[in-house]
Amino acid sequence: MKEELGVKQFDRIVRIPSPTGFDVGDINSYVILPQEGSKQLVLIDTGVGREVAWQALQAGLGQFGFSIKDITLVLLTHAHTDHFGQAPRIRRESGCEIWGHEVIHKSVADYLPEPPRIEMEKDFFRRLGYDNDMYDKIFEYRDFVGDIFELCELDKTLVDGDVIPIQDFELQTIHTPGHCAEEVVFWQAESRQMFSGDHLLPDITPVCLLDIPDEPRGVRVHSLSQYYESTDKVLPYDAKYIYPSHGDVMQDHRELIAGYKLATERRLLKVSRIMEKHGSLTPFEVGQYLFPKAWESEPYAVSSEVMGHLDMLVDQGYSSVRDDGDVFRYSLISVPDPGAIFQAVIF
Ligand SMILES: [Zn+2]
């Protein structure tokens, strides 16, 4: 069990953790305190829509003489429930605005999809080798997700490069898709500080969630490759402090990203060896070999990991994929050389 982080102040930034009820543990919300004489109180990410998270936020703000009523702007790094769950309630309480990346609306709508979308998702997973029971397991979280957030409209949509006007603390929006399509990182240039959301996390490697296209059998984003394009984007920033959504403040994102790449290379080798040993496999079968325990208990994360790595192997010519119209099967062409992967296509 990880030690609780607690409320902490870094100059104008206050970290307020709140419990999520998920395995990930607490989520960090960050408050940017107003300048002398200003009423601008900015909150980055909110915590889940549960009373316990509300109380944690209220108590944290209270330590600095503020309450939720004083919040003027909520910024969202992305639309996972632990990040935006309380946003509508905060807006009702304070009259604040809520800003986030423009594709958030679509991501949120997919949390609780309509029947045609569900049929399409079932077909999508069938083609990866999953049966309908496994499909139900993948989306089990939908049974309770409605209880911890409510849909909310953004007051302003952000795109890459947008500047958020905060007095003496302007933030730049950097779009960093990969973990999910709408993920953004906020950069404060003068003080060289970065709010990294779930894009960069100190203790866990961000899962790059499997993209399920809107159209039946539509084109799928290769999330893991996209994630590394995004890390490439943030590498040049000379960050002094990085504030992640989970875990403690970090100082060296370059070292962190180098570690992620090593872990990815290792897993690519592992997936290659599985195909070498067992021949042509469906993604579902790869997942069973790659994660002998988690394939059953965490099927969404496993399918995301498997597809991310299979996509990279195919994109770089190490694996082939055959679509027999019913299911996809992947076969090894050659085992990649360690170290070759990140010099190849992406970088
Ligand atoms: Zn997330």
How high is the pLDDT of residue 2?
43
- Mean pLDDT across the stretch 234-242? 97
For the segment 116-137, what is each residue's pLDDT rounded down to a tens digit? 999 999 999 999 999 989 999 9
What is the distance in A from the centroid of ligand 1 to the CA of 295? 20
**Dist. CA 122–CA 134, nearest whole Å:** 10
Please compute the mean of the pLDDT values over residues 3-32 and round it to a whole number: 90
Task: Please return the burial class of 238, using the count of CB atoms within 10 Å of its CB with bins 0-12, 13-18 and 19+.
Answer: exposed
Which amino acid type is present at position 4? E
The tally of CA atoms less than 13 A away on the side-chain side of residue 31 is: 29
Whole-number pLDDT of residue 4: 55
Residue type, 196: S
Residue 18 has pLDDT above 90, yes or no: yes
Query: Could you tell me the domains of the chain?
Result: 8-111+149-251 (3.60.15.10), 114-141+265-347 (1.10.10)
Decide the pairing of beta strands 171-175 and 184-188. Answer: antiparallel
What would the pLDDT profile of 168-177 be if each residue is shown by its tens digit? 999 999 999 9
Query: Among residues 164, 154, 180, which one has the least CA distance to residue 102?
Result: 154
The rounded Å distance from CA 209 to ligand 1 centre is 9
pLDDT at 213 over 70: yes
Please give the share of the chain, as a percent, with pLDDT higher than 90: 80
The pLDDT score that the predictor gives to residue 23 is 82
pLDDT of 344: 54
**Average pLDDT in the 211-238 region?**
94
**Residue among 76, 72, 88 nearest 33 (CA):** 72
Res 347 pLDDT > 50: no
Evaluated on CA atoms 161, 166, 170, 171, the torsion sign reads: negative
The reported pLDDT for the residue numbered 331 is: 98
* Residues linked to residue 188 through DSSP beta bridges, in sequence order: 193
Q: Residue 333 Cα, ligand 1 centroid: separation in angstroms?
A: 34
Q: pLDDT tens, 194-208?
A: 999 999 999 888 999
Give the residue, 30 or 112, on which the prediction is more confident: 30
Rounded to 5°, the CA angle 252-254-260 comes to 110
For the ranges 13-17, 85-89, 147-151, 211-215, the lowest mean pLDDT is seen at: 147-151
**Which tokens belong to 287?**
């997942």
The pTM assigned to this predicted structure is 0.93
Q: Is 117 buried (19+), middle (13-18) or exposed (0-12) by CB count in 10 A?
A: middle
* For residue 301, pLDDT beyond 80: yes
pLDDT of residue 265: 94
pLDDT tens track for 90-104: 999 999 999 999 998
**Contact (Cβ atoms closer than 8 angstroms) between residue 278 and residue 185:** no
Distance between Cα 89 and ligand 1 center (Å): 20
Q: Which of 146-155, 230-239, 243-252 has the lowest mean pLDDT?
A: 146-155
Q: From ligand 1's centre to the CA of 275, what distance in Å?
A: 30
In the reported structure, the alpha carbon of residue 7 is separated from the centroid of ligand 1 by a whole-number distance in angstroms of 21
For residue 346, is pLDDT > 50?
A: no
Ligand 1 midpoint to CA 81 (Å): 8
